[in-house]
Structure 1
Amino acid sequence: MRKLALTVMLAVSMASAALPACAEWVIGDARPDAPELAARGAFKVGVRTERIVHRDQFDILRASESNRAPRYDRTLTLELWYPAQLAPGQREAVQYTDVLGAGANNPARPNTPFTFAGRAARDAAPLPGKPYPLVIVSHGYPGSRLQMSYLTENLASKGYVVVAIDHMESTRLDRAGFASTLLNRPFDDQYVLDTVAAWARPGSGHFLSGMVDAGHTALVGYSMGGYGALVAAGAGIEAPALKPLGVTDTAPFASLLHGAARTLDTRIRAVVAFAPWGGSRGLWQDAGLAQLRVPLLFVAGEDDQIAGYADGVLRLAQQVVHAPRYLLGYQLARHNIAPNPPPPASHANPIDFSAYAEPVWDSARINNINQHVVTAFLEQALRQRDMSAWLAPDSPASPARSIAGVHWRYWPAAEN
């Protein structure tokens, strides 16, 4: 069954075959001990950067008694990975530039640029053919669109169009008040979905025209990105829980609250929530979580001191009763179970290093496991392929039996 599913699924090539024997290790490469679905797929990968502007949005950080309805434009920088056709001599080799720190003018963590290598071809031509499912990726607070490149490149190589967002006022470069992140994450996700869907229409003039099946979209989020993905997919939040977080006026959140009249976007077919923040803070109760109806994959460290585990991610997974959901728990891991490994530039600052590293787990090992389980989950949720050989808890190839140091749980959707 496993062999047949692999053949039907992707014609996945093992990393050792896809890369030159002498190639240096690059973030996201499959290690010798990587689970089987961590290997890159059969597609070459292109990457481009785009900037979009979400105009006339409520500016929660500048609202005051004298100015209750300030408006502003939100600029979102996007990184797009996609199946590509390479020109003669073009290689899947790119240098990404990111930044360390936790916002501007922070003497303890100054903004320090760094570069790292990836396996994608900058501005390569897209590979035409049947439209590919869409995956939208949302970072933590603060974070960046590049902090999960091991996963974004990997998914693009398996026939997905992947769009990662730099959320304004929430990156390592421009971090601002937390209220902006609380309010804007689900709206940013929705706007990016609408924008990419418009680009995908035939005749749009965008390079993604005809390439994206936005009707089969997954939201992938880490920490506050996980929070935003859950809310965008339908989880209604509780107004009283916002006030301890410094939100004095909950009116801007009205459409996101539990019980609000809301039409869910049926294009969103799945959610992957890495260490989603908010469960241990009471942002969701049973009724708000019951609004979620799409398949979910939760991934968390079982010693997470930021999102919480027993009172946080595990509780969320247990209470999303109307959706089928999986939970991968890393034993002894904390909150950093989603990003790339710590860049060498972070080694000079223990605080920056600790923003990426896990004290017990090897980050590259976590990356490979994440690639494996997310691949299996999205193939089933977006492409309706039978991935029970890898997902069913009682299967010999399930994470519970094939990967040391993790717990793997599954809950079916309850009847309405």
Structure 2
Amino acid sequence: MKLVAQLAMGIAVIAAWASQSVSQAADMVPVVEYFGDARPDAPELAARGPLAVGVRTQAVDHAGQLDILKATAGTPEPRYTRRLTLEVWYPAALASGQAQHTVYTDVLGSGANDPARPNTPFQFAGRAARDARPAAAPAGGYPLVIVSHGYPGSRLQMSYLTENLASKGYVVVAVDHPESTRADKAGFPSTLLNRPLDDLFVLQTVAGWSKPGSGHFLAGLVDPGRTALVGYSMGGYGALNAVGAGISPAAVAFVPGGGLAVNQQGNAQYEARRDPRIKAVVAIAPWGGAHKIWDDAGLAGVRTPTLFISGDQDDVAGYQDGVRRLFQGAVHADRYLLTYRGARHNTAPNPVSPAAIAAGFDDYMAYAEPVWDSRRINNINQHFVTAFLGMTLRGEPLQGYLDLPPLPAGGTAGRDTVTWKGFRERTALGLELLHLPAQ
């Protein structure tokens, strides 16, 4: 009986403690985890900017485009309309009580017809106010940043970076490229053909929206003459092609029928579409360098300042024969190469969501880095992209954040012997940053 009484008393104590904990939890403000928030060891320029951020979803139709996946000998140039879904982040003027919080909906999987990895919707929190009123723009408007995802991917794949840039005074437009998202992945030739064409169409579209009197919410808000392209993997391929890296004859031959010739170096139609409003490129793990996409003449066509970002163990885009080759070959561009030692290909995406972890190894590995913490990579990307775009689009004196001494290859046993501007001591280990001026 004594044991029973002791057990009863113990249960009562536990019940009272649990009741008190629930009561206290109800009074607490819930903590929401946002991708892109700065870790304690984040470099200086990773910090979110001073401006509130709004976000809106737009859709635009690019009519009359070559439907390369349906081209046949009998119908060599079928045409269709490409509907592009855009996510637009911008400096906002919040209404009373309006919070910088939204919920993004994306999908896992690898295309609509993959039974091993079915499209599975998932949600995650964003630090932006949905449909908020735009803030008044400075004279001339905010610079424009166009963001292009991987294959497959989505416009929401790098929200940690898009929100961060908008908080610093950029209008950021991320594109869902049809036939190249996780929801609608289709044949690779579509991605090879359309990435640069989509980017340039979005630039032209936003330029129209930005004109005073256009009736669009971006009217008077954007300066398209100061545009940057940010691309990951196939997005990096498209960005480089858009600014002058014409593909090689060998790459054109990858797709029967010659449909890729519109992206070929030396083609008059290709050369004529170079857009001088594009002042900078950030190419994260850009695909193509190790796959005969570009020869030396094609890479020499790039004259736009470029920040390359890569892992030195990238087994998708390649490193020595891939991204580093592109960096070395773009001889007429002022360019930087940020390398994550030990990282593979996923040096751009948001961290792995709980939904991707639950979905299994393949969906987990679509986001994860085997060695590096994704949040750490995100913060470092925010830091260097902020410095690079600040210099190239706004003429800000941020050169000191990019012209850095080499770090010891093997690290140090004690205190760091070399420090980088913007990094606290002991926090730059594992990185390499190279700079080559334009010839």
Trace 1:166-185 onto structure 2 (pairs within 5 A): 166-185=176-195
Verify: 1:118 aligned to 2:126, yes or no.
yes
**Is 42-51 or 389-398 further displaced after alignment?**
389-398
CA distance in 2, matches of 1:253, 1:103: 23
> Structure 2: which amino acid aligns with 1:337?
T
CA distance in 1, matches of 2:77, 2:263: 18
Specify the structure having the higher radius of gyration (Cα).
2
Verify: 1:306 aligned to 2:316, yes or no.
yes
What percent identity do the matched residue pairs reach? 62
Verify: 1:226 aligned to 2:236, yes or no.
yes
Deviation at 1:386, TM superposition (A): 1.8
**Is 143-152 or 282-291 further displaced after alignment?**
282-291
Trace 1:190-339 onto structure 2 (pairs within 5 A): 190-243=200-253, 245=254, 247-250=255-258, 252-261=259-268, 262-263=271-272, 264-339=274-349
Which secondary structure does the structure 2 equivalent of 1:367 belong to? helix
Deviation at 1:399, TM superposition (A): 8.0
Deviation at 1:254, TM superposition (A): 2.5
> Structure 2: which amino acid aligns with 1:31?
R
> Structure 2: which amino acid aligns with 1:25?
E
**Is 400-409 or 40-49 further displaced after alignment?**
400-409
Aligned partner (choices 28, 40, 58) of residue 32 of structure 1: 40
Q: Deviations over 1:268-303 (max 9, x none)?
A: 000000000000001111111111111000000100
CA distance in 2, matches of 1:102, 1:399: 38
Verify: 1:404 aligned to 2:429, yes or no.
yes
CA distance in 2, matches of 1:351, 1:59: 30
> Structure 1: which amino acid aligns with 2:430?
G
CA contact (8 A) 2:64 2:80 kept: yes
CA contact (8 A) 1:389 1:397 kept: no
Verify: 1:413 aligned to 2:438, yes or no.
yes
> Structure 2: which amino acid aligns with 1:405?
G
Trace 1:138-149 onto structure 2 (pairs within 5 A): 138-149=148-159
CA distance in 2, matches of 1:22, 1:119: 15
CA contact (8 A) 1:399 1:408 kept: no
Relative to the length of structure 1, the TM-score reads 0.92
Q: Deviations over 1:95-121 (max 9, x none)?
A: 000000000121110100000001000
Which secondary structure does the structure 1 equivalent of 2:290 belong to? helix
Deviation at 1:22, TM superposition (A): 7.4
CA contact (8 A) 2:44 2:422 kept: no
Deviation at 1:60, TM superposition (A): 0.2
CA distance in 2, matches of 1:396, 1:214: 37
Aligned partner (choices 110, 129, 141) of residue 137 of structure 2: 129
Aligned partner (choices 73, 88, 95) of residue 103 of structure 2: 95
CA distance in 1, matches of 2:436, 2:419: 18
CA distance in 2, matches of 1:83, 1:328: 28
CA contact (8 A) 1:399 1:407 kept: no
Aligned residue in 2 for 1:189: 199
Which secondary structure does the structure 2 equivalent of 1:155 belong to? helix
Deviation at 1:240, TM superposition (A): 1.1
Gaps of 5+ in 1: 1-19
Aligned residue in 1 for 2:402: 391
Aligned residue in 2 for 1:354: 365
Deviation at 1:258, TM superposition (A): 1.2
Which secondary structure does the structure 2 equivalent of 1:227 belong to? helix
CA contact (8 A) 1:46 1:123 kept: yes
CA distance in 1, matches of 2:419, 2:93: 37
CA distance in 2, matches of 1:111, 1:22: 30
CA distance in 1, matches of 2:37, 2:429: 20
Q: Deviations over 1:131-153 (max 9, x none)?
A: 00000000000000001000000
CA contact (8 A) 2:43 2:422 kept: no
Deviation at 1:25, TM superposition (A): 2.9
Q: Deviations over 1:303-359 (max 9, x none)?
A: 000000000000000010111100000001000000001111111211000000000
CA contact (8 A) 1:342 1:356 kept: yes
> Structure 1: which amino acid aligns with 2:368?
A
> Structure 1: which amino acid aligns with 2:57?
T
CA contact (8 A) 1:78 1:163 kept: yes
Deviation at 1:241, TM superposition (A): 2.5
Deviation at 1:231, TM superposition (A): 0.3
**Is 385-394 or 195-204 further displaced after alignment?**
385-394
Which secondary structure does the structure 2 equivalent of 1:288 belong to? helix
> Structure 2: which amino acid aligns with 1:287?
A
Aligned residue in 1 for 2:383: 372
CA distance in 2, matches of 1:53, 1:241: 28
CA contact (8 A) 1:392 1:398 kept: no
CA contact (8 A) 1:289 1:320 kept: yes
CA contact (8 A) 1:296 1:326 kept: yes
Relative to the length of structure 2, the TM-score reads 0.87
Verify: 1:344 aligned to 2:357, yes or no.
no
Q: Deviations over 1:370-389 (max 9, x none)?
A: 00000000000111112122
Number of equivalent positions: 392
